[in-house]
């Protein structure tokens, strides 16, 4: 079974430039997550989709970050304009839909390492 | 906001020794998970323990949960060099089990 795919794996940009990351979840996984992981810290949830709808984007800096999952499959995360503090690894994860009180494992992609100069 | 805090921040042991990492959290949880992250890779789910469970085993891994102390521990027995990684605990506080908050992690180095 193919895992979560992400591209690019590495990106270096200058501040104020724009950047976009792509994620293709595991086939059949309706829930998709984007996390930001700053060096030395744990991942922080940015946005969660269920199919093509947003479930939680409370920690997404909406003045510069945007994400979409138009067809309920793959997703893009964009930063415009980038700041130095956006340097981090951006992780995508996916999981099945599950009932209230249940649990489904999140499967993570390898991440995109962003460096903002 | 950060829910879980792992302790220690870094741990260095010899191959064959046991490694114990701890996680403390602040609010009531439904589930607590442990993840491993090798250098340059995504996270891999290791084990989940529910709030009504006290101990779980998976191969060389043993996880305990003490909800009265709001803490969990991950024990890796007979460690191997391949266990070198960062280990994170993640807690969920909602009834949907979808919204996990990760701690800052413990960096484990297993020396050959």
Residue-wise pLDDT tens digits, A34-74:
999 999 899 999 999 998 899 889 999 999 999 999 888 99
Mean pLDDT, to the nearest integer, of A78-88?
97
| Interatomic CA distance for residues B30 and B1, integer angstroms | 17
DSSP states along chain B: ---EEEE-SEEEEETTS-EEEEEEESS--SEEEEEEE-TTS-EEEEEEEETT-SEEEETTEEEEEETTTTEEEEEE-S--GGG-EEEEEEEE-STTS--EEE---EEEEEE-
| List of chain B residues whose C-beta atoms are within 8 Å of the C-beta of residue A45 | 99-101
- Per-residue confidence band for A80, with pLDDT thresholds at 50, 70 and 90: very high
Residues 81-100 of A with CB under 8 A from B: 91, 93, 95, 98, 100
Mean pLDDT, to the nearest integer, of B94-104?
72
Statement: residue B7 has pLDDT above 80? yes
Which pLDDT does position B68 carry in this prediction?
Answer: 94
Contact check, Cβ <8 Å, B40/A107: no
Contact check, Cβ <8 Å, B104/A31: no
Residue-wise pLDDT tens digits, B26-64:
888 888 999 999 986 779 999 999 999 999 999 999 999
| List of chain A residues whose C-beta atoms are within 8 Å of the C-beta of residue B92 | 103
């Amino acid at each position: 079974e193919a895992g979560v795919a992400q591209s690019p794996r590495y990106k270096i940009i200058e501040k104020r430039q724009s950047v976009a990351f792509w994620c293709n979840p595991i086939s059949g996984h309706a829930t998709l997550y984007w996390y930001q992981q700053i060096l030395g810290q744990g991942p922080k949830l940015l946005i969660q989709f269920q199919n093509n709808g947003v479930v939680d984007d409370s920690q997404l800096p909406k003045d510069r970050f945007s994400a979409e999952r138009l067809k309920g499959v793959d997703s893009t995360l964009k930063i415009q304009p980038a700041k130095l503090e956006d340097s981090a690894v951006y992780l995508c994860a996916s999981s099945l839909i599950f009932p209230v009180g249940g649990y489904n494992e999140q499967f993570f992609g390898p991440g995109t390492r962003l460096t903002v100069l | 906001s950060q829910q879980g805090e792992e302790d220690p921040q870094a741990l260095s042991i010899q191959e064959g020794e046991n490694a114990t990492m701890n996680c403390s959290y602040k609010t009531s949880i439904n589930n607590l998970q442990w993840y491993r992250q090798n250098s340059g890779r995504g996270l891999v789910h290791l084990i989940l323990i529910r709030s009504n469970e006290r101990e779980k085993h998976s191969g060389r891994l043993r996880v305990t949960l003490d909800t009265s102390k709001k803490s969990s521990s991950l024990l890796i027995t007979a460690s191997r060099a391949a266990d070198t990684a960062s280990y994170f605990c993640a807690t969920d506080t909602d009834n949907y089990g979808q919204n996990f908050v990760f701690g800052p992690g413990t960096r484990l180095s297993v020396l050959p």
